[in-house]
Amino acid sequence: MSGGRESRVTAVRTPSGRAAVHRRQPVLRGLFQRVRAVCASALVVAGTPPFLQAAPLDGFVEAVPHQYAPRTGYVEWALDHMNQRLDVFNLRPAEISDDSVGNLKGLHLRAGYGFSERTWMDAGLFRRNIRYGELEPALNTWQLGVQHSLLASGLASRGPDLAIRASVWGNLGPSIAATPAQLKARPVFSLLDGLSVDRPSDRQAQLDLISSWWLGSSALTAFAGMGRGTVSVDSVTARLGALTRRWIDGQFYDENGQVDTIIAPIVQQLGLADELNAINYSTRFAHAGLGIRVPIGERWGLRAAYQYFHISRSSDDLIAARSIGQVNYASNHTLLGEISYRFTGQARLFLRGQAMSNQFLGEMPLLYNSLTAHRFDEKYGIVSLGVIVGF
């Protein structure tokens, strides 16, 4: 790290106005503060970076991501993968016979910036291709969050620091077609020759309370929050023989945009209308967890976190009644682990793992419907390799 960054961190190591008070405090307390400030500077120079925030990596939140240093931040770029070679803990479903099924290939870009000693903002973009049979849809995730310190203990204290965080995030997918096997497995869909969901998406708003304690140069964080969201699709395309119809807002339309009178009676008789209406729904969710960050020496660092997530959907009963096995999955347990190495200046290389007890439940709400619900009892994981550069 350059000398300018290190001196700046030391200069703003506590909230505004605290420095003048420190000069008048007793000698022993002032000495303790200086030692604490040195530890904080070492924390920024070495070990793991403190600035990763927001879903889908909620477990790594901290109350003071930029260590009271305004006009500082980070940029992160990484490759995200999962395949048979990387699945050392057997997180993919055991019954998979095709080695490519369940493979994930993706990347993400994230950035954060401290606008003041108490205010932090970050954003991220993820792109993931997940292979399932003949399908490999590209799913895009976006996130934006702002965080403000409510209780700033200063780097001369063990904490706690307390912050409130507001964020919005969501996912967007392309047209996703049901496989022939999926259609045949469901009597309500078995008469159709094709069914696809056009541009599914979800949007969430989330509010979190975050508290961090300082153990030397390490940090222990507890967090909890809640939010609301919606899952929607632009339209659903159904194919029956030579006929192709689009379902929009509860009605089927033909190629000319006229209300259909051929497929509609069949749909009503099979109960497919209720099934399609269940694709659009609202959600409420809550989560809580713990995270720890530990610098090791001048260059290495470790992070670990656990998160519990619970979600309820306005169409849970309808989805469960029509899903295979009549199941409803609402909870997910996520473990995060990361090791990083500072190879030059403020640049760090990291290897990160994410393990989920119930796939992407809660992280990608748009994937959950009556056709897919029975798959959400399966574990899944992601391995990421990337670079973080602070500034």
User: What tokens were used for 202?
Assistant: 């979800």
Q: How far is CA 179 from CA 67, 128, 377, in A?
A: 50, 20, 20
Q: Which residues pair with 127 in a beta bridge?
A: 107, 140
pLDDT at 319: 79
243 phi-psi bin (left φ>0, alpha ψ -120 to 50, beta other): beta
Query: 361, 311 in Cβ contact below 8 A?
Result: yes
- Tell me if the bond preceding 26 is cis, omega within 30° of 0: no
Mention every residue, 6+ apart, whose C-beta is less than 8 A from residue 365: 171, 202, 204, 229, 231, 283, 311
pLDDT at 85: 58
Q: Please tell me the distance from the alpha carbon of residue 348 to that of residue 356, in angstroms, as a whole number.
A: 26
- Long-range contact list for 301-304, CB < 8 A, 24+ apart? 301/46, 301/47, 301/48, 301/49, 301/339, 301/340, 301/341, 301/342, 301/348, 302/48, 302/337, 302/338, 302/339, 302/340, 303/48, 303/60, 303/336, 303/337, 303/338, 303/340, 304/335, 304/336, 304/337, 304/338
Query: 210, 63 in Cβ contact below 8 A?
Result: yes
Determine the Cα angle at 252 with ends 229 and 240, to 5°: 115
Three-state SS at 319: helix
Q: Please tell me the distance from the alpha carbon of residue 381 to that of residue 332, in angstroms, as a whole number.
A: 12
pLDDT at 125: 95
Which segments in the chain show pLDDT lower than 70?
A: 1-56, 68, 83-102, 132-136, 154-157, 179, 182, 185-191, 263-264, 266-273
Phi and psi (nearest 5°) for 379?
-75, 160
pLDDT at 132: 66
- Closest to 234 (Cα-Cα) out of 266, 267, 201, 258: 201
User: What tokens were used for 203?
Assistant: 């949007």
DSSP 299: T
- Closest to 248 (Cα-Cα) out of 266, 262, 264: 264
pLDDT at 90: 55
Spell out the SS3 assignment of 84-149. Answer: CCCCCCCCCCCCCCCCCCCCEEEEEEEEEEECCCCEEEEEEEEEEEECECCECCEEEEEEEEEEEE
pLDDT at 203: 96
Query: 147, 120 in Cβ contact below 8 A?
Result: yes
- Closest to 120 (Cα-Cα) out of 160, 163, 86, 87: 163
pLDDT in tens, 113-134: 999 888 999 999 999 988 765 6
pLDDT in tens, 262-306: 766 766 666 666 777 778 899 999 999 999 999 998 899 999 999
User: What tokens were used for 163?
Assistant: 């912050």
- Tell me if the bond preceding 56 is cis, omega within 30° of 0: yes
